[in-house]
Structure 1
Amino acid sequence: MTRPIDDRSARLFIALAAFFCVNAVLAEFIGVKIFALEDTLGIRPLEWNLFGQTGSLSFTAGTLLWPIVFIMTDTINEYFGRRGVRFISWLAAALIVYGFAFAFIAIHLAPAPWWTGVASDQGVPDYQAAFAAVFGQGLWTIWGSLVAFMLGQLIDVNIYHRIRRRTGDRQAWLRATGSTAVSQLIDSFVVLYIAFVLGPQHWEMSLFLAIGTLNYLYKMLAAIALIPLLYLARAAIRRYLGDARATELQAQAAEG
């Protein structure tokens, strides 16, 4: 009898789920940093003007990882269907809460007296304050991220299968980018609205629309640029599982 851990499809699901969850949790934690795109690329500021807002293009560092999460979502959707995506989405959300809970606990541990000044030579006079500022994201940001993440994932899986019913096994790029286009339109604006409009910062609507639009456009451009990676992942999975098993999983996923 073949043990479950020896089944290649089980191993594949474990690997995809683990990589998905790691990227989702990391995106939440590094998302506290805002970076300037033009300065990072070493070019002059583009001085964009959108909804009355002008300046350099700024994004959260978490946007670097979300396109990978999209690829993982579509790959799991392709071979393990709605149940697979929903399972890993709820698992990732639980792990995000778990991570923030322990970050909160760590912040409130009494720091060693010598540790607070250990990085003063690096321009960080109070390591405890820096630690709390980086890992102690506001509750509005945390809950905004979680609500947007789950909404985006649940919408993505449904749009993906609606397109799949029309295209069959053809045009994988269309169902991947189509589902991302709808889900990330919701995700990009929901997280900002909860975290920064309803939250204590009370962003103006023009700023909310400008930043939300920029983040959405970035995610869509990244999703399109990563289409070759989607096909490479499908080819690698077929080689790993074999054509017969891969086709069987796709059929089962399509049936729900």
Structure 2
Amino acid sequence: MGEPPAVSTDATAASGRHFRYFDLVMAAFVAILLLSNVLGAGKRALIDLPLLGPWPFGAGILFFPLSYVIGDILTEVYGYARARRCIWVGTAALLFMAFMSWVVVKLPPDAGWTGQGAYEAVFGQVPRIVFASIVAFWAGEFVNSFVLAKMKVLTSGKHLWSRTIGSTVVGQAVDSLIFYPLAFWGAEGWTTQSVLTVLLTQWFLKVSWEVLLTPVTYLVVNALKRREGVDLFDVRTDFTPFRAAV
């Protein structure tokens, strides 16, 4: 026999409930967030697009948008309060990663070790960019989660695609509007035009990722709702971002 259908209920009624797969989804969220910042943020890649020619882009854009997809899944399946907890866990993990990178890079290298230059190039991130990245992630993810939760109530749980894409459009806009000006406005080699161009391009590409991954989001959301047995609606939820309690 298959799983019983999910039962619709208010999210506050499930505040103390244990969910079988929540920890796994949260772990995936934090892992992708950290790895996309460590492995992708520092590399500029180049692809040759038809009609457009060579197109440079930050390698992190290939995987960072997945954190928004998983954020959508967290809010849709487990409600805003649990998504909020995951955002705070992700923020704490980013802060610790930034601190650990700074300490490791600053430690004096052994005279026989020749990797210090490469280490500094990869992990010696500019504090301004690190700060911009963390603030933009925090604000963008909370806006994304808030919009999705509200749209779910307004649409009575129908048209999942409209709220996953709609919330990403708004959340990624907030993320980009904070990150790029905060990280690069007035920096050497960056003009106002280049900041705006990169901002709009990256926002469009991130939203496009969400659209392309919509079928996957449907599969994961529906499977999790069946296995968890509930479909949560944030009708009476306290939407303040400044708490981590469920």
TM-score (norm 1): 0.80
Partner in structure 2 of residue 37 of structure 1: 47
Counterpart-to-counterpart distance in 2, 1:8 and 1:111: 49
Matched, 1:68 2:77: no
Counterparts of 1:44 and 1:114 in 2: how far apart (Å)? Answer: 48
CA distance in 1, matches of 2:38, 2:28: 16
Q: Does 1:172 align with 2:160?
A: yes
Aligned-pair distance for 1:227?
A: 0.1
Aligned equivalent of 1:184: 172
In structure 2, C-alpha distance between the alignment counterparts of 1:44 and 1:10, rounded to whole Å: 46
Alpha-carbon distance change, 238 to 87 in structure 1, aligned in 2, over 3 angstroms: closer
Name the larger-Rg structure: 1
Q: Would you say 1:15 and 2:21 are equivalent positions?
A: no
1:238 is the counterpart of 2:225: yes
Structure 1 residue 151 and structure 2 residue 139: aligned?
yes
Aligned residue for 1:114, secondary structure, equals coil
Change in Cα spacing, 1:79 to 1:148, as seen in structure 2 (3 Å) is same
- Cα separation, 2, equivalents of 1:75 and 1:13: 10
Instruction: Supply the distance in 2 between the matched residues of 1:111 and 1:16 (Cα, whole angstroms).
Output: 38
Secondary structure class of the residue paired with 1:161: helix
Per the normalisation by structure 2, the TM-score is: 0.83
Q: Is the 8 A contact 1:237 1:246 kept in 2?
A: no
CA distance in 2, matches of 1:74, 1:207: 30
Report % sequence identity: 25
Structure 1 position 67, deviation (Å): 2.3
- Is residue 226 of structure 2 the alignment partner of residue 228 of structure 1? no
- Say whether 1:103 aligns with 2:101: yes
Please name the residue that 1:139 is paired with: 127
Distance between the aligned counterparts of 1:219 and 1:70, measured in 2?
9
Structure with bigger helix share is: 1
- 1:27 pairs with 2:36: yes
Q: State the match for 1:86 in structure 2.
A: 84
User: Following the alignment from structure 1 to structure 2, what is the Cα–Cα distance between the partners of residues 32 and 150?
Assistant: 20
Structure 2: 5+ residue runs without aligned partners?
A: 1-15, 238-246
Say if 2:44 is the partner of 1:46: no
User: Structure 1 residues 9, 254: CA separation in 2 closer, same or farther (over 3 Å shift)?
Assistant: farther
**What is the CA-CA distance between 1:62 and the residue it aligns to?**
1.4
The counterpart of 1:213, out of the listed 200, 213, 229, is 200
The answer to whether the 8 Å contact 1:24/1:92 transfers is: yes
Contact map agreement 2:37 2:64 (CA 8 A) in 1: no
Q: Aligned partner of 1:46: which letter? A: L
CA distance in 2: counterparts of 1:101 and 1:183, whole angstroms: 26
**C-alpha RMSD of the superposition:** 2.0
Kept in 2: contact 1:144–1:190 (CA 8 A) = yes
Q: Tell me the CA shift for residue 133 of structure 1.
A: 1.6
Q: Which runs of 4+ in 1 moved over 4 A?
A: none
Q: Alignment length, in residue pairs?
A: 221
Structure 1 residues without counterparts, runs of 5 or longer: 1-6, 48-55, 117-126
